[in-house]
Amino acid sequence: MTVTDLLFEKLLPILLPLSCLACDRLIDGGRHSLGLCVRCRGRLMPLGADRCAGCGRPLRGFDLPASFRCGSCRRRPRAYDRLIALWAFRPPLDAVIYGLKFQRLESLGLHLAREMAREMADRLRSELAGLDLVVWVPLHWRRHLGRGYNQAERIARPLARELGAPCRRVLVRARATPAQTGLVRARRAANLHGAIRTRRGDWIAGRRILLVDDVTTTGATLDAAATALRAAGAAEITAIAAARTPGIGEPSARKTVIW
Ligand SMILES: [Zn+2]
Ligand SMILES: [Zn+2]
């Protein structure tokens, strides 16, 4: 076991709180996945297969192919080839994402990466086999400085290790953008236009890339990052987010609290 492995396997999990992030119950020491107790861990809600491959919007009543896109995504295709969002952004996962983003619980990124790799094991063996590169959605340097780390990078790096693919910083925020919350898709896209740039085009051109973020709503930020990767010659881009919040007009959208 290398020093890095030791750090991730043995030390980092200890840095999580001893009580469940979602319900405050004490956690049995050996079972610390995602900082949740066993009961809350069992309440994670995987997103079903009947979803638009562009924005993740639920599509009901059809037996649809995995690449099916809703009308809005067919009219304005995304720069990425597919979006995979693993779980609904609702309790208890919202508490995990909050911990990762705002409570300096960086090791939750490792836990999420492992759970994500497990959840999509079948796809990783088939359509996602042989990825060349894992990248993450960048934060503006000022926000990065304030938080001390980028939560998407904290998921991307261990996820890349799980997949045996290199992970590199090829995306940068060229300018800060106002919060996306509450904006409809067109406004989100305008908000982000030109905000994300690439570096080291030689790592991007011709590559099959996995683009990682922690949470997505309409896929606008992932789309902006994918647009930059595509302009640098990426051959294939799979966007992935641990959680997806319902977009405006979708069921339960109003009940979701986003920070
Ligand atoms: Zn709990
Ligand atoms: Zn869509």
Nearest-angstrom CA–CA distance, 193 and 23:
40
Residue 4 has pLDDT above 70, yes or no: no
Q: What is the phi/psi pair of residue 141, to 5°? A: -60, -30
Give the closest ligand to the alpha carbon of residue 75: 2
Residue 5 has pLDDT above 70, yes or no: no
Distance 160 CA to ligand 1 centre (A): 28
Q: Which of 102, 110, 139, 103 is nearest to 32 (CA)?
A: 110
Distance 54 CA to ligand 1 centre (A): 33
Q: Tokens 């086999």 appear where? A: 129
- Tell me the pLDDT band of 141, cut-offs 50, 70 and 90: confident
Maximum Cα–Cα distance across the chain: 50
Please report, for the chain, the start and end positions of each structural domain, with discontinuous segments joined by +. Answer: 45-244
Give the closest ligand to the alpha carbon of residue 17: 1
Other Cβ atoms closer than 10 A to 30 = 6
- Tell me the pLDDT band of 251, cut-offs 50, 70 and 90: low
Q: Is 82 left (phi over 0), alpha (psi -120 to 50) or beta?
A: beta
Q: Note the pLDDT tens digit of each residue in 99-135.
A: 999 988 888 999 999 999 999 888 888 888 899 999 9
pTM equals 0.87
Q: What is the phi/psi pair of residue 155, to 5°? A: -85, -40
Q: Which residues contact 75 (CB under 8 A, 6 or more apart)?
A: none
- Which tokens go with 143? 């926000």
Residue 122, pLDDT score: 87
Nearest-angstrom CA–CA distance, 100 and 98:
5
* Architecture in CATH of 45-244: 3-Layer(aba) Sandwich (3.40)
Residue 6, pLDDT score: 59
